[in-house]
Amino acid sequence: MKKISSLFIFLFMCQSVVFAQETKITVREDQNAPKISKHIYGHFAEHLGRSIYDGFYVGDTSAIPNKEGVRTDIIKALKEIQIPNLRWPGGCFADTYQWKDGIGPQEERPTMVNSWWGGVTEDNSFGTHNFLNLCEELGAEPFISGNVGSGTVKDFADWVQYTNHPAGSPMAKLRKENGREEPWNVKFWGIGNEMWGCGGNMTAEYYANIYKQYATFMNASENNENLYRIAAGATGDDYHWTEVLMREVPKSLIEAVGLHHYAVIDWKAKGPSTNYTEDIYFKSMKEALKMDEFVAGHIEVMEKYDPENEIDLAVDEWGGWYEVEEGTNPGFLYQQNTMRDAMIAGATLNIFNNHSERVKMANIAQTVNVLQAQILTEGEKMILTPTYHVFKMYTVHHDAKLLPVAFDSPEYTFNGESLPAISVSASKSEAGSTNISLVNIDAQKEHKVEIDLEGMDVKKMQGQILRSGKIQDHNTFDDPDKITIKDFKDFNLKNGKLSMVLPPFSVVVLSSKK
């Protein structure tokens, strides 16, 4: 009996080896494929908690090294990930913000209560000039989200004129009096935020009319011919909202429709940011991967009214949302950032890349100290999160031409439910580099993949990987480099076939080299 049992075990092991799954991925060039807009890799800075004050902005008298009050270590970090655009001042805060309170001598600016986020009083020391000068320093396009909910059309039009009119107008004169001679020429404008909720609890039909009014009066000068107007879009699968905007707003008044979606397992019990179980992790990834369904659904609606693809989809808020860290203000939305966040970031960015024919902009929420942040600060200390490192790895895709991929993903199965374990996107840069980003969200299993690059003329590749020992791992102020980007060499390229094993919960990016 013992011999039979041993033989059975041996045969079972052999069978397991023989039938071990290998995922076949095909990457091909397509002359009709779109460019992956760098603006998909946009960011978001709201007046919320410690995002602006005690995050970006410490003031020009701070002992922390700064430039015009903005931390130089944050500036350096954001330059390294080639931040393409930055959305400000909100979020829900945008529809309470009176921009004229944030210009002129700081000591003369009125204070305000941030009624949405923590009830704190702000002194308006960080305003339009601070933000736009920061964007210039970063080499990033500013994306201003304007006040529709509690503002007026004139307020909005004045703001456009203040930032963009060259000379001879009242707002250009005011700008010069406040120390800025040349206009900033702000291109990206959000017309309100979440108008179905904190922006005014409007119906889609009502907002469509309001939108048209604001969009009409934005043209303050000849500099505004190239304004990029973004309508406050739907949340999740509210396809009716998108349908109304596409049907009711003339193409001459709109450049993009927004969309928001957060990976939240339950709005009443979001779960912890670090000490979570695999069950919570699985549910988080299930919510994150719904982004593909929602983006595809809204694109389908848009194509009914815009088959020429003239209006873009802008996912201007996305990311993971959990319970705040213990002992912090619940209204400040401060949470840690683990390998789960790296999985959400990598998989979501792959989704956007693969829908880049219509998705031209996205903004992760948020940049510093709020929600799925790239950067966390504590006094003079600063740490870069796993999400930051994913954005750095994915810079190879900025403005590169999409390379369509085809494959059937293996499954990540937990408690009888399954999700696609592997996410992939690929691109080719203007310099000719072929770039492939892969994410394995499986918390337990490695997955073997073979990528068919036939006809791509790829002879050498170099790789990077982001991984750690536990899915809950994260960087701390005592251990800021626990998770960092490492070289990845465990792959084989032969006869146009690229093979490798993706470790559990890992992000890998490979780029060809001459």
Separation CA 369–CA 378 (nearest Å): 9
Separation CA 314–CA 166 (nearest Å): 29
The answer to whether the CB of 312 falls within 8 A of the CB of 246 is: no
Cβ-Cβ contacts under 8 Å for 121 (sequence gap 6 or more):
111, 112, 113, 114
Cβ-Cβ contacts under 8 Å for 219 (sequence gap 6 or more):
225, 227
Cβ-Cβ contacts under 8 Å for 403 (sequence gap 6 or more):
27, 28, 29, 30, 33, 426, 427, 428, 434
Q: Would you state the structure tokens that stand for residue 240, as one six-digit string?
A: 């009716």
**Active site (annotated) includes residue 194:** yes
For 115, other C-beta atoms within 10 Å of its C-beta total 12
Q: Which residue, among 411, 444, 407, 412, has the nearest Cα to 424 in the 3D structure?
A: 407
Separation CA 364–CA 348 (nearest Å): 10
Give the three-class secondary structure for 199.
coil
Q: From the candidates 46, 122, 194, 255, which is the catalytic residue?
A: 194
For 179, other C-beta atoms within 10 Å of its C-beta total 10
What are phi and psi for residue 145, nearest 5 degrees?
-100, 110
Give the three-class secondary structure for 36.
coil
**Active site (annotated) includes residue 317:** yes
Q: From the candidates 317, 325, 326, 430, which is the catalytic residue?
A: 317
The answer to whether the CB of 210 falls within 8 A of the CB of 187 is: no
Q: Would you state the structure tokens that stand for residue 157, as one six-digit string?
A: 């039009």
Active site residues: 194, 317
